[in-house]
Structure 1
Amino acid sequence: MFDLYENNRKEGVGNYITEDFVLLGNSLLLSQTLANIEEKVLLPKYKEFIQGTLEALEKKQGNKEITAQNIRYVRLVKALLDMTPVAEITDQLLQQDLSSIIQADGVKESVLMGYQMDFSRFKPRGRYTRSEEMSSWFRAMTWSGMAFFPLKSSKATAISNELADRLTSQALELAQIIRGNQALATRYREIDSLLFLLFGSVEDMTWQDYLTAAGKGGQTDIRSLRGRMFTFAGKNKKIARIHDGIVATDQLEKGQTAGEVLSGMRLFPMRSSKDSAAFQKLVYPSVTRYTGNTQEPLPFTAITLGTDVVKGFPRGLELMWLLGSQTAGEQIERGQDSKYKKYSQMWKEARNELAGPANVVINTKLMRDWLLNGTKADADRRLNSMLGYWTWGRYTSLLFTKQSVTGVSKSFQLPSERTAAWLEPATSLYLNILKDIRKLLAAVQQISPESTDPLQRYADLLAQLISIAKAEQAGLQLKEEQINVLNNLDATFYSIIGAKDQPIVVDVHTEVNSQKVLEEGLGYAKRIETSKYSQKLRGALFTHFEFKQPMDARMTDELWRERLVQQAAPAVSPEGKK
């Protein structure tokens, strides 16, 4: 979009500032702010925490077998952070998992954890490909969030009672190490508090939960403790709703759920996102058999599981439908993506997942307000805007939020003077964005005061845009200084953010049976024109793509841009068929 507005300046064409460009500025600012906080605050604190935990474990007296396993677990994280070559690792077990992480090997058993993991998730993507240090941070934090210490044994995860006992003993030892070391506990709280401010709460058990649950009652043997901690998890809503692990759902024991067998402590749990929780409700095994004609082309969301056709994928359009877009609902129904057993029931449950407070990165309240308060004439445009906003939100929060998983089975020239410009008067949208920025500003002020200047400048600029939008809605002629603000908005954005937009892509759901992921991409901007004050003005809108990609070839921004340049971008029609 920046390139289009820069061309306007060169060609003397007045700016038509679209709501998408304002949303883009907001998204870029959030992404850059988080990148700065990661590099300057989170990563140094995380390194201190890992180093301190390793030192405490190496000094510990007690169960040597459990401590040795924990030392391997933490040394793996340190090796990732230090970018230690695999060949330099002498511990063969640690070396195997480190190699699997670096190679992003797909679904295989972790020799350290003893169960199947999707190692393709460790492939650095998004902004984490910009440097080796950020790639190593991505892998280390992903391990801290994905590797879990299960409370339940199950055939569905191939976790035996003995393995669950051992991993729970490890988790309790780690919890006791953190509690017993004030510096470690402080570092952990600092990291967790920051992630809570940015991305919200976690649904998984934490080390604090393990200690609280283990401290109640008289049982001391590990199997009894597991039972008590699982009861605690159920009572305190710590049973996983988002199933970001490998579960063979047809192997679940009677009465067991995928969430139950994936419940347990994670060192730094990924945050629970409303959209992922909704998506989990809309795929197998929650939504099951396809009820349409299997002799005709199958819908985009379908997979073949044995002899059945079931719903393996959610769609971004479904999220928009849940948030109130009837246009999205019509497209889903037209594409047969709602023709599954239990779909209507689970759609209602998925909608309930979107209730409650929103976070500043993906503000579902903002999305709902924008989608619900339009007219039939602008419904398509509002839908497109929110797909773009949501894709940027998932891109920004890639490392920190849980992902739903389907159950297994040019040259310079003087420009002409520009005397006109127009801002799409989406006042309510801009007001909601300003609320988010002010909320983020207050949070960042507490933890990284040096990062607040861009946020404050952007908040001031948004206030100007809101004033301009209100003037337009009142039918007032824009003043010269207001026109100048709009015609220079791209340059002002760049001075604040320090970056321009490029096509991005992010995977939002993993479907293990077909070995594919659901990708959401934004391509090069769509040009749009309008006439105001007897002049032709030009602006930009998002272009959104949704497609499937092999798990072991999760798309990076660089590959996505190459594909767009080669004009080989996978497109999905409104009907949802490839």
Structure 2
Amino acid sequence: MLLTLESGCIDSSNGPINETRPEESIDDQESSFNDIVETAPEKTFSVKNNTLEKQSFFSGYYSKENLQFEPAVPAYSLPLKASEIANYDEFTQKIFFTKESKDLLYKNGFVVLDNEDDSEGPKNQLISGQTLVNETYRSLKVADVPIFITSDSLLHLYHIQFDETLKRVEAEEFYDELWKLDKALFEASIEDYNSASGVEKEAARRNVAYFAVALSLLQPKPEQTEKSREDPEKVTLFDPQDIKEYSVEIPPFVKDNVEAELVLIGAQKEEISPIFKYVEDYSQYSPRGHYTSSEKLKNYFKAMMWHGRISMLLQSKMIIAEESMVEELAADSSEKEARIQTIQALLISDHFDRDKNIRDRWDRIYNVTAFYVGFSDDLGPYEYAKALDTVFGNYRSGVSLDNESLAELITELDKYESPKIYGGTGEIIPAGSETENETLEATKGFRFMGQRYTPDSYILQKLNPPALNIMDLLGSERAREHLRNMGIAESEVYKTRHLSLETEFGAFNEDDWNKNLYWAQLYALKPLFTRYPEGYPTFMQTEAWEDKQLNTALASWTELRHDTILYAKQTYFLGAPQIQEEKPVEGYVEPVPEFYARMLALTKMAHNGLAEMEVLDEQSDKDFTTLENTLEKLLEISIKELEDKELTDAEYKFIRNFGQNISPMLENVDIKSQSSILVADVHTGPGGSVLEEGTGKLDLMIVAYKQPDGRIVLGTGPVMSYYEFWQPSGERLTDEEWRKMLNDNPPERPEWVSSFRV
């Protein structure tokens, strides 16, 4: 199995729509994912990138159409007047406008109306309280108002498919696979303990404890099978039979350690790990995202968080030494702990390397999740097994990890690159300007299935919040302007780091961008940041439209972080006339062809990749096909709109029936999973506070667009709402808690949305 982590690079350009780079079709690949997994006998290793590598394999699933068109939409003058809008009177009888919202409509050619149930005065009942995209479009069709299909809608629909397929494979396959994987290594560690002596015996004992904690977190509890009449969330329960099937007996020689760890995980505070002797942030183990929808997923979340966060450290700097009157003895204690942890990792990796069943189960979970999110920047079992091969060769039977051989192994492992993102292990090492490098070096070690490197987390580590920094590096000039206005981009340290990121990210090509679904979705957002020239609709040439697209991108990114909250490594702080009856007002598609092209390529990438990995069921396969057909139609329509061509009756019918067209892909998705309301914590800051990114109820966007017959008309469609705020770390929000906060005491929206929203 060849695994890779490649350095993150983000193309900062926001240039023209046309792309000329040749594409490789998925059909041109010589072998499928499963063929490569099964037939790759050799492991290749890069000391520079520190991971075993399957070179850019996932990018082979990405194939995007190159677009060629000349935008020629006639302009209109801003500010608009009501008398210039052909369907103004009829439209305003169905959609309520305040004076403020009319003023913004006239000024920008569009406006977003806030969706608040509890506001005083007249409400727009068509959208009030709405959180479901397809129901919103249905309501607009029933009201007979022209429909505007938004980029927000397509991003939200993709999020639902992404999240549902991941949730299904976790519950139906990965939970059981992880149980069997942990159970096998648990039993192997018991055998190690029974046969070893000295420091290796203690390392084996701690491995028994490590896997016992994971199994205890996975294990169903009796209360997780019992229905509670007071449970309003309708969480899916374990089957009572699962208690028998997934059961483990904890050996007495590790019971105290295991119970102590479980107590801390339940308390969700920052404490010293009883097994690993360094500070761990147990608040991260609180299930959130889609993992609150079933008891099985809650348990899976906790166990995978344990495997993703807990590190067996190479160095002693993060380890809290036992108290001693003599400083040298305390240092010796820390060094001894680091040696024990390294031996732990080597013992696990040796079993991993020898046992194909163990390796196959690990590969299955890791590679599918790597397709979704990417690779870890931490060392893992492949790296440690490679070090064993380097030092001992292929004949390791009976080899002892004595001081000399252990020192040789540590020297070998020290050559591998340190993690790029500090995920909160231990405490930050104060070292002046080198604090970040010192801390990252000190956290180098073994993680059984480490959380994944993502470019947005990397940006947040380098530049700190707000999330506008991410959008800036993705190519949003408007985000950069807001950062300057907020005084964030002024310090020399910031400028130096920003320039370094621009240089690093600027080297990325399209294959780099599309190495997995996470990166490919960020790539799909980039066309939203284009500053549109003449030939595009007038409303798209305003600063307010740039703010609206920035809001869309941030909301979509929030959904992505919500869906991958278990796997993506979170950063921690380091420092009118009447309408002419013979010519009705027709609907409109937000004309962003490059966005639709990238979303189509992303959807096909997900569909083809997950199908080859045998992750999709029959319904998921049909749902992806529906979304692909929808995106193909939107791409075709948007290009015709930009070329100022009249759409066919069938195309106008497609727009009018958009809610009905997308319904098939949502029929088997529960209402909660379709909701636009969700939250994800993405960064842990100073003092234990966490940065929360949230999306709320759907807002309604009103757009003035020009039809091919020359009339300016109004159309409407749903857009996402976006929030960014801080929470205490012990109160990381679930979606359920966020919904309550949103109803009772919602945080303020970003100030910059006032340019387009009332």
Among 360, 368, 371, the residue aligned to 2:529? 371
Asked if 2 retains the 8 angstrom alpha-carbon contact of 1:247 and 1:407, the reply is no
CA distance in 1 between counterparts of 2:434 and 2:477 reads 38
Give, in angstroms, the shift of residue 440 of structure 1.
Answer: 1.2
Q: How many residue pairs are counted as aligned between the two chains?
A: 534
2:715 corresponds to which residue?
A: 537
Check the 8 A contact 2:289/2:680 in 1, yes or no. yes
User: Is 2:548–2:753's contact at 8 Å kept on the other side of the alignment?
Assistant: no
- 1:455 maps to which residue? 624
Distance change (3 Å), C-alpha of 1:98 and 1:492: farther
**1:457 CA drift (Å):** 2.2
Structure (1 or 2) with the larger CA radius of gyration: 2
The one of 246, 254, 261 aligned to 2:442: 261
- CA drift at 1:495: 1.9
Shift of 1:251: 6.4
On the 8 A contact 1:152/1:226 being kept in 2, the answer is no
Candidates 353, 368, 372, aligned match of 1:179: 353
Alignment partner for residue 219 of structure 2, among 68, 82, 102? 82
Q: Deviation of residue 525 (structure 1)? A: 1.5
Equivalence map 1:245-324=2 (5 Å): 245-250=425-430, 257-283=438-464, 314-324=465-475
Which whole-Å deviations, capped at 9, do the CAs of 1:277-297 have from their partners, x for residues lacking one?
1111124xxxxxxxxxxxxxx
When residues 575 and 529 of structure 1 are mapped into structure 2, their CA distance, relative to the original with a 3 A threshold, is closer
Q: Is the 8 A contact 2:313 2:341 kept in 1?
A: yes
Give the corresponding residue for 1:191: 365
Q: Which range moved further: 178-187 or 40-49?
A: 40-49
2: CA distance, partners of 1:199 / 1:225: 36
Q: What displacement does 1:392 show?
A: 1.2
8 Å CA contact 1:246–1:407 kept in 2: the answer is: no
The separation in 2 between residues aligned to 1:210 and 1:55, in whole angstroms, is 20
Instruction: Output the amino acid matched with 1:526.
Output: D
After alignment, is 141-150 or 33-42 more displaced?
33-42
SS of the residue corresponding to residue 529 of structure 1 reads: strand
| Aligned counterparts of 2:153 and 2:463: Cα–Cα separation in 1 | 31
1:237 to 417, 429, 452: 417
Q: How big is the shift at 1:419?
A: 6.9
Q: 1:66 maps to which residue?
A: 203
Q: Which residue does 2:502 correspond to in 1?
A: 351
Counterpart of 1:109 (choices 269, 272, 292) is 272
**Bigger Cα displacement from structure 2, 232-241 vs 95-104:** 232-241
Contact 1:243–1:258 (Cα < 8 Å) also in 2? no
Distance 1:21 1:226 in 2: 56
Q: Match of 2:358, SS?
A: helix
Contact kept, 8 Å, 1:154 with 1:252, in 2: the verdict is no
Q: Which residue, 598, 612, 629 being the options, matches 1:446? A: 612
- Give the whole-Å Cα distance in 1 for the aligned partners of 2:562 and 2:605: 20
Q: 1:23 pairs with 145, 155, 162, which one?
A: 155
The alignment yields a C-alpha RMSD, in angstroms, of 2.8
Secondary structure of the residue aligned to 1:187 is helix
Shift of 1:232: 4.5
Structure-1 separation of matches of 2:627 and 2:503? 33
TM-score (norm 2): 0.66
Tell me how far apart the structure 1 counterparts of residues 627 and 466 of structure 2 sit (CA, whole Å).
32
Shift of residue 354, structure 1, vs aligned partner: 4.0
Summarize the Cα distance change of 1:172–1:235 in structure 2 as closer, same or farther, 3 Å threshold: closer
TM-aligned CA distance change 1:231 to 1:470, over 3 Å: farther
Identity of aligned residues (%): 22
Q: CA contact under 8 A between 2:318 and 2:443: conserved in structure 1?
A: no
After alignment, is 339-348 or 383-392 more displaced? 339-348
Partner SS for 1:506: strand
CA distance, structure 1, for counterparts of residue 263 and residue 607 of structure 2: 40
1:145 aligned to 2:145?
no
Q: Which amino acid aligns with 1:59?
A: E
Contact 2:179 2:218 in 1 (8 A): yes
1:118 paired residue number: 281
For residue 701 of structure 2, the aligned residue among 507, 517, 528 is 528
Query: Which of 96, 99, 111 is the aligned partner of 2:260?
Result: 96
Counterpart contact for 2:677–2:695, Cα < 8 Å: yes
SS at match of 1:338: coil
Residues 122 and 142 in structure 1, CA contact (< 8 A), matched pair in contact too: yes
Gaps of at least 5 residues in structure 2 are 1-131, 224-248, 322-332, 393-398, 534-540, 576-583
Q: Deviations over 1:488-509 (max 9, x none)?
A: 3233333213442231111110
1:436 aligns with 2:602: yes
CA contact (8 A) 2:185 2:211 kept: yes
Displacement, 1:436?
0.8
Which residue matches 1:400? 567
- Give the C-alpha shift of residue 162 in structure 1: 1.2
Write out aligned runs for 1:403-552 (5 A): 403-407=570-574, 420-447=586-613, 448-450=615-617, 451-497=620-666, 498-499=668-669, 500-511=674-685, 513-531=686-704, 536-552=714-730
List per-residue Cα deviations over 1:77-106 (Å, max 9, x = no partner).
1111113489x97722211111221332x2
Q: Amino acid of the residue matched to residue 432 of structure 1? A: R
Q: Which amino acid aligns with 1:364?
A: L
Q: Tell me the distance in 2 between the aligned counterparts of 1:152 and 1:18.
A: 51
Q: Which amino acid aligns with 2:472?
A: W
Q: Distance in 2 between matches of 1:557 and 1:37?
A: 21
CA distance in 2, matches of 1:575, 1:17: 20
Higher relative contact order (CA 8 A, sep 6+): 2
* Contact 1:157/1:247, CA 8 A, preserved across alignment: no
Cα distance, 1:254–1:394 mapped onto 2, change above 3 Å: closer
Deviations 1:337-388 (Å, cap 9, x if unpaired)? 2344511111122334545323323433333343245465132122122111
CA distance in 2, matches of 1:328, 1:241: 23
User: Is contact 1:165-1:223 (8 Å) kept?
Assistant: no
Per the TM alignment, residue 223 of structure 1 is displaced from its structure 2 partner at its CA by 6.0
Q: Is the 1:274–1:354 contact (alpha carbons within 8 Å) kept by the matching residues of 2? A: no
- Structure 1 residue runs without a partner (length 5+): 284-313, 409-417
Work out whether residues 277 and 353 of structure 1, in 8 Å CA contact, stay in contact via their aligned partners in 2.
no
Aligned mate of 1:206, from 380, 391, 405: 380
Contact 2:309 2:423 in 1 (8 A): no
Deviations 1:5-39 (A, max 9, x none): 23213322232111111111112211112112222
- Using the alignment, how far apart are the partners of 1:334 and 1:280 within structure 2? 21
Provide the C-alpha distance between the structure 2 equivalents of 1:442 and 1:472, rounded to a whole number of angstroms.
30
Q: How far, CA to CA, are the matches of 1:242 and 1:123 in structure 2?
A: 20
